[in-house]
Amino acid sequence: MSADKSQSGTNVVSARDSQLSGFVAMEYYALMLNRTFVVFVSPDGLYGWKAAGVVPAGVGDYFKPYSEMLKDPTVMHDIAAVRKLANLKGGFFIPRSEIKSAEFNPKPKFGMGGIPHTGRILVSLMSGKTREFILLGKVDGEQIRHLILG
């Protein structure tokens, strides 16, 4: 496994042997609610494990254990386990063939309070739907965008 350094010095993890990469992101839904995902990027698409439900804006670095999980070679080399996580309640899978585009917006997301984040990735799907992932922590958003696009 290798960890690529971003400009800020924090890792975006890429397990080259297993072809898995990952990041931790928050997504808003129903206007004010949020959920946190560990998103795994694989050759066949994006797998999302819902790691946490609604989180208040003042909780800071609550997501760090999930970021650490992405550094675990056992997890990052086990695509079967990642698929199982994505199949749990609230998880998702987006096939690569359904991804139309991915754009990185480095501007902070309003309402995030004390939760550190590095902007957003907007994933547009062939169906016309979009998913906005707020990148938690200090990560390289452009690198994540490139990983998503393959």
pTM greater than the 0.85 cutoff: yes
In the chain, the number of structural domains is 1
CATH number at residue 31: 2.30.29.30
pLDDT at 13 over 50: no
Half-sphere exposure of 8 (CA within 13 A, CB side): 13
Half-sphere exposure of 96 (CA within 13 A, CB side): 12
DSSP structural state of residue 75: H
Query: Average of pLDDT values for 127-133?
Result: 98
Average pLDDT of the chain is 89
Q: Which domain holds residue 130?
A: 2-149
pLDDT at 36 over 70: yes
